[in-house]
Amino acid sequence: MWNYLTQPFLFISPGVQARKIDPWQEEGETWRRLRVTFPASIATHCPERIFYYDADGMQRHRDYALEVNGMSPAAHYTSDPKTFGDLGLPTRRRVYRRNPDGTADVGVAASTIAIFDITLS
C-alpha cells in the first residue's frame, strides 16, 4: 500500500526513471502515459510500469507484469478519488488480467482494494 499511496511522489526518488510515451484511448478519453522504471532499492511488484493519467491529472490505471505470479500481465485501475487533507487519492482499486492487445479483461477482478479513510500527519 505504501507504493500506491506515495505515487506519483515516488517517481522523483533516486534511481527512478520516468518518460512520457504515446497516449492511450479508453472510455472515450485520451489518457497520457508515463513509463516508470524503479530501481531494486524500491520494493515493487515489478520494476517497470506504465501509468495512465486523465485530462485532470488523476491516475486512472497502471500496467505491469506480476513477477510473483509468473510475469502475468495486469491492468490495475484506480477510481473514486477523495480528498484527505489537501491530497486527492483514488479510493478504489481493481486489478484485472491484461489481454495481449493491452486492454483489460474486466470479467473478473483478480484483486480489489477499497480505502475508506486516511489520516495524514
CA separation for the pair 56, 52 (Å, rounded): 11
Query: Where along the chain do its domains lie?
Result: 2-114
Q: Give percent of the chain above pLDDT 70.
A: 96
The pTM is what?
A: 0.86
Nearest C-alpha neighbor of 61 from the set 87, 36, 93: 93
Given a cut of 80, is residue 77 above it in pLDDT? yes
Cα angle 105, 9, 47 (rounded to 5 degrees) comes to 50
Q: Which range among 15-19, 24-28, 71-75 shows the weakest confidence by mean pLDDT?
A: 71-75
